[in-house]
Amino acid sequence: MAKAEIVYFTDPFCSWCWASEPALFALRERYRDQLTIRYVMGGLVKDIAEFFDAANGIRATAEVAPHWRMVSERSGQPIDERLMLDITDPHFSTWPANVAVKAAALQGARVGERYLRRLRRAALTERTQVQREDAQVALAREVAGLDVEALRAELSGPRALAAFHEDLDTCRAFGASGFPSMLLQPAGADTDPRARPILVNGYRPLQTLERALASIAPGLVRHEARPVGKLLAEYGPLTEAELSAITSLTPAELASSLDGAVRGRVTRKELHGGAVWQASVPA
């Protein structure tokens, strides 16, 4: 039974959100069914022509590229910053990708989470313009349990857009104007006036998030990480940084931890700025 919840304010294109994935996966594995994560889409860029990030001096997609490279170097997460050089639309927006996530989530929270993960991985590591509908539909075909034709119908319909605007309202209500932001609260806090949630703004290390979780849900029981093969079967492809955070193993130790049977079912692929591990044969 869930004891704690993370309300995660995010965007598929957000590099610091991608940098936070190792910590989130580590928490998911340590606390499993004691922890739920609820995703709220934040709409990072409505129109790049009207956007200005004063802290990082960003007002155009090309100016995002060096920022992404810095995030990759600091976090260890693979990021292909060249995507932001590929995008030439003067009115580039992340909103269509946010709406696509909400369209998928109409089929269930779990499938929406898997689709968000696929969009995020495609944008940040595969140089895919996931703001485009053709890319959204193509990636949907890779997500287990997602009805692609139902998704396609919802992409231009009113329900997904309305759900996204509800998320924007939620962001404003909690003061989540930057991403990632995470509201950590005891399970059931929405109906318990005694609950004292904690809002964590920005990229934070695993230890900080774990301490915050312990303060709002002191009864959490920590599990040991499962073997790599089981992790990939449970979560799908994981970056090396994510696997290292989950298992507390270095990349070299990760490789040596695989027994012969698992080694034949796992592949490691070099990416721009890192690597990804995935199960080549279903476990």
Q: Tell me the per-residue pLDDT of 229-248, one tens digit each, with 9 for 90 and over.
A: 999 999 999 999 999 999 99
Provide the number of structural domains found in the chain. 2
Residues 252 and 154 in one domain: no
pLDDT digits (tens, 9 = 90+) for 112-143: 999 999 999 999 999 999 999 999 999 999 99
Q: Answer yes or no: do 150 and 44 share one domain.
A: yes
Confidence of residue 188 (pLDDT cuts 50, 70, 90): confident
Tell me the pLDDT of the chain averaged across its residues.
Answer: 94
Please give the C-alpha separations between residue 120 and each of 136, 158, 174, in angstroms, as whole numbers.
Answer: 11, 23, 24
The answer, yes or no, to whether residue 192 has pLDDT greater than 80, is no
Spell out the long-range contacts of 203-210 with Cβ–Cβ below 8 A and sequence spacing 24 or more.
Answer: 203/16, 203/19, 203/20, 203/75, 204/20, 204/23, 205/23, 206/22, 206/23, 206/26, 206/27, 206/245, 209/23, 209/24, 209/27, 209/182, 209/184, 210/27, 210/30
Domain presence at residue 145: yes
Average pLDDT over residues 85-108: 98
Which residues, including other chains, have CB under 8 Å from residue 156's CB and lie 6 or more apart? none
Q: What is the pLDDT, as a whole number, of residue 227?
A: 92
36 phi and psi, to 5 degrees?
-115, 150
Examine the domain organization and report whether 167 and 235 are in the same domain: no
Cα of 250 vs its chain's centroid, Å: 22
Percent residues over pLDDT 70 in the chain: 95
pLDDT of 264: 79
pLDDT of residue 282: 47
What is the pLDDT, as a whole number, of residue 189?
66
Shared domain check, 126 and 33: yes
Which of 54, 44, 75 has its CA nearest to residue 181? 44
Co-location of 251 and 137 in the same domain: no
**Same-domain status, 170 and 233:** no
The string over 106-124, giving b where at least 16 C-beta atoms fall within 10 Å of a residue's C-beta and e elsewhere, is bbeeebbbbbbbbbbbbbb
Residue 262 has pLDDT above 90, yes or no: no
pLDDT score for 263: 75
Give domain status of residue 206, yes or no.
no
pLDDT at 116: 98
* The residue type at 208: T
Residues 83, 162, single domain; the answer is yes
Residue 242 contacts residue 29 (beta carbons within 8 Å): no
Residue 181 within any structural domain of the chain: no
pLDDT band at 195 (very low <50, low <70, confident <90, very high): low
Indicate if the pLDDT at residue 283 is higher than 50.
Answer: no
Are 26 and 122 part of one and the same domain? yes
Residue 211: band (very low, low, confident or very high) from pLDDT cuts 50, 70, 90: very high
Distance separating alpha carbons of residues 269 and 278, to the nearest angstrom: 8
- E strands, the chain, are 4-10, 35-41, 181-186, 198-201, 238-239, 266-271, 274-279
Q: Residue 272 maps to which CATH number?
A: 1.10.10
* pTM for the full predicted model: 0.94
Gap between the Cα atoms of 206 and 21, Å rounded: 10
Tell me the pLDDT tens digit for each residue of 24-75: 999 999 999 999 999 999 999 999 999 988 888 899 999 999 999 999 999 9
User: Looking at residues 166-187, what average pLDDT do you find?
Assistant: 95
Looking at the fold, whether 24 and 107 belong to one and the same domain comes out as yes
The residue among 153, 174, 195 that closes a domain is: 174
Please report the pLDDT score of residue 177 as a whole number.
85
| Containing structural domain, residue 45 | 4-174
Question: pLDDT tens, 162-171?
Answer: 999 999 999 9
Q: Assess whether 149 and 248 both reside in one domain.
A: no
Question: Residue 218 is which amino acid?
Answer: P
